[in-house]
Every structure is written in structure tokens, then in C-alpha cells.
Amino acid sequence: MTIENKDGAPDSNNDINSSSIDAVTENLNNMAVLDDNNDITLCANCGKGEEESNSLKFCSACKLVKYCSAACQKAHRPLHKRQCKQRAAEIFDEKLFKDHPPNEECPICMIPMPEDDMLPPVFILCCGKMICAGCHYGMRKSNMICPFCRIPVCHTSEERVKRLKVLMDRGNAQAFHQLGGYYDQGLHGMPQNRTKARELWVRSGELGCSQAYYNLGVHYQAGMGVERDDKKAKHYYELAAMNGSTYGRYNLGCYDKQSGNFDRAFKHFLIAAKAGYKCLEAVKLGFEAGIVTKDEYANTLRAYQKSSNDMKSDTREVAKACYEE
Ligand SMILES: [Zn+2]
Ligand SMILES: [Zn+2]
Ligand SMILES: [Zn+2]
Ligand SMILES: [Zn+2]
């Protein structure tokens, strides 16, 4: 199919003067509506068809228009910019406000692991797996032998760092996160070096570790070894949230609340609570203020209860009681 204007004439944007910008933007909007099956067959700038150029490419930011060349894309930018930015922001929000997937399962007990300060999963350095605190506690009975590779857990800092480096060579995200933590705190023989810590966390985040992105957010928000920077903090919390960190999402909600963006703030709080983050108090305040509807409130409480129950196990309760002693 070809794209046509309302009056049926073939779309041609060749001779646009600046006074017709609004009209053209409107036409582009129409194009976007017409072509929700991605069947755009004309360059938005010169009107050349697929057959003539056979290399029409989508504007990668908005996927609303196609161009036959980089030159056409550049020439069309002043007309397209506003619509493009708007659609790109919508696409970003669609990703940002997706519900969290269920937490990763412990590879031993197969129960989803909490993202919890009280009961954090433990990283075992021989095979580079995260296991839940309950199963890690249970390893005591077997003299701390890894249930997967039958290697004893290591006791020296040198051995820990050596094992982490082997895992990092294999692209293990969590290993980058852990070594970053050693540099952050000056642990296991590493000098405290927060710049180095952040470098390792960026790599870890790129490999999929949401906690590493969360840590980066904290550094920039609190100015830990770096100048305070709320914009960067938000950026890393967004990446953390999109990779499944409820902590990162909660902090994003707090930023939005501070700036008066209550709609976005409570969207974040609801998603975090549904995934099991302990922020029901914040959700309740939203309900009382009329920002969260009764249905949303009830659904969130139910989902929170389910997520929390799904992450409970007897061994985890035992481990928790021991750590709390
Ligand atoms: Zn063109
Ligand atoms: Zn665009
Ligand atoms: Zn487990
Ligand atoms: Zn192992």
C-alpha cells in the first residue's frame, strides 16, 4: 500500500515551507495512525517509494516514519523532532511501567528469591550462582561444600578475588557486582576506590544485574565518592527498575513524589508493592489521598501478599531467625 493524504493525492513533502509545518506534522500523525501494521512505504522526507530506493529505514527512536537515506532523515528532523521525542518518551514509559517479572528462583529449592536486606541471596564463587539464604544456611550441614560442583567455599580473600576474576572472564554479571562491592567498601584486600567500583557496576548492569544499577543510583543520589547528581541517580534507578529492582523503583517513585508527579510516583509504588517490596504504607497514603483507586489498592494488597508468600520457605525462616540472633 502507499500512504496518501486525506484528499487522495500521493504524499510528497518535497516543497515544504516553514509555515506549513503544523499541517505536515498533522499528516505525519495521520501516517502513524494509518500504519500500525508497520506498512510504511514512502520516505517521510522525499516521498520516494520502497521500489525506487529499496532501503527505507524506520526512525529508530519512534518507529513512526521511514527514510530512504540519512540525508533525508537529517533534512526532515526539524519537522519530525517534536513528534519523535513524544513517541520515544511514550515507548520508554511503556518499558518503565511494566510489572516486574517474578523474582529469580533459587537453583536449589526452586522458590523465588527475595530482594531483601534481611535475607539477601548469597553468591557462591565456585560456579557463580546465586542461592537463597535458606539454602546457604543449609550448606553448613555439608561443611560448606557447593552442591553443584562439590568444591568447598573459599575462606581467604585472595581465593575469593581469584574466583571472581575467573567468573568475570566468563561474563558473569554478579561477579562484576561483587568485586565492585569490594572496591566500594575496601574489602577483601581491595583498596577503597569508588570510581573503580562504579566502572565494575556499569559493566555488571550491562550484563543484566539490576542491583549494580541500583548501587550506581545510590552513589549519585548520596554523592558517595562522586558529585551528587539527581539526573544520573534517576537514570540508574530507571535501569535498575527495568531490570527488576523494586528498590530502584521505590526510589524513583520518591523522586517523582518530591517533584509533584504523583501519578508516576504511585504507579511506581504500586508496581514495587505488587512485586513484594515493603511499601504498603506509601500505597495506603495514595489511596487515602484519592490517587490510588479502591480497586488498585485491593489488587496491590493481594499481589503483595502473594509475592511475599511465594518467597517464603521454612529454611529461610530458620536462617532469618539465626541471623537475627
Ligand atoms: Zn528520502
Ligand atoms: Zn522519529
Ligand atoms: Zn533456596
Ligand atoms: Zn559451585
Which domains occur in the chain, in start order?
Answer: 18-96 (no CATH), 122-324 (1.25.40.10)
- Secondary structure class of 298 (helix, strand, coil): helix
User: Whose atoms come closest to the Cα of 32: which ligand?
Assistant: 2
User: Whose atoms come closest to the Cα of 60: which ligand?
Assistant: 2
User: Whose atoms come closest to the Cα of 133: which ligand?
Assistant: 3
**Higher per-residue confidence, 53 vs 34:** 53
Q: Would you call 266 exposed, middle or buried from its count of C-beta atoms within 10 A (0-12, 13-18, 19+)? A: buried
On the question of pLDDT at 32 being above 50, the answer is no
On the question of pLDDT at 28 being above 80, the answer is no
- Average pLDDT rounded to a whole number, residues 141-154: 87
- Confidence label for 53 from pLDDT (cuts 50, 70 and 90): low
Q: How much distance in Å is there from the Cα of 44 to the middle of ligand 1?
A: 7
Distance from C-alpha of 24 to C-alpha of 21, rounded to nearest angstrom? 5
User: Whose atoms come closest to the Cα of 314: which ligand?
Assistant: 3
- Secondary structure class of 320 (helix, strand, coil): helix
Q: pLDDT digits over 262-305, tens only? A: 999 999 999 999 999 999 999 999 999 999 999 999 999 999 99
Q: How much distance in Å is there from the Cα of 87 to the middle of ligand 1?
A: 21
Q: Which among 175, 210, 217 is positioned nearest to 101, based on CA atoms?
A: 210
Q: How much distance in Å is there from the Cα of 122 to the middle of ligand 4?
A: 12
- Average pLDDT rounded to a whole number, residues 116-145: 89
Residue 25 has what pLDDT?
Answer: 38
Q: How much distance in Å is there from the Cα of 122 to the middle of ligand 3?
A: 10
Cβ partners under 8 Å of residue 228, min gap 6: 220, 221, 222
Q: How much distance in Å is there from the Cα of 35 to the middle of ligand 1?
A: 18
Q: Which among 255, 265, 258, 261 is positioned nearest to 235, based on CA atoms?
A: 255
Q: How much distance in Å is there from the Cα of 54 to the middle of ligand 1?
A: 11
Q: How much distance in Å is there from the Cα of 115 to the middle of ligand 1?
A: 50
Residue 319 has what pLDDT?
Answer: 87
Q: How much distance in Å is there from the Cα of 10 to the middle of ligand 1?
A: 14
On the question of pLDDT at 14 being above 60, the answer is no
Write down the mean pLDDT value for the chain.
87
Count of CB atoms situated within 10 Å of the CB of 88: 16
Q: How much distance in Å is there from the Cα of 125 to the middle of ligand 4?
A: 7
On the question of pLDDT at 2 being above 50, the answer is no
Residue 237 has what pLDDT?
Answer: 98
Give the phi and the psi of residue 16 in degrees, each rounded to 5.
-95, 130
User: Whose atoms come closest to the Cα of 79: which ligand?
Assistant: 2
Residue 325 has what pLDDT?
Answer: 67
State the DSSP string of 12-37. Answer: --TT--GGGHHHHHHHHHHHHHHTTT
Indicate the helix (H) or strand (E) that contains 257.
helix 246-258
On the question of pLDDT at 108 being above 70, the answer is yes
Cβ partners under 8 Å of residue 109, min gap 6: 132, 134, 135, 313, 315
Q: pLDDT digits over 184-233, tens only? A: 999 999 999 999 999 999 999 999 999 999 999 999 999 999 999 999 99
**Do 238 and 96 touch, CB atoms closer than 8 A?**
yes
User: Whose atoms come closest to the Cα of 70: which ligand?
Assistant: 1
User: Whose atoms come closest to the Cα of 58: which ligand?
Assistant: 2
Under DSSP, the state recorded for 105 is B
Residue 41 has what pLDDT?
Answer: 83
**Do 13 and 46 touch, CB atoms closer than 8 A?**
yes
Question: Which residues surround the ion ligand 2 when the cut-off is CB under 5 Å?
Answer: 59, 61-62, 84
User: Whose atoms come closest to the Cα of 112: which ligand?
Assistant: 3
On the question of pLDDT at 99 being above 70, the answer is yes
Cβ partners under 8 Å of residue 101, min gap 6: 244
Residue 59 has what pLDDT?
Answer: 95
- In this structure, what C-alpha cell is assigned to residue 207? 550484563
Q: How much distance in Å is there from the Cα of 111 to the middle of ligand 3?
A: 6
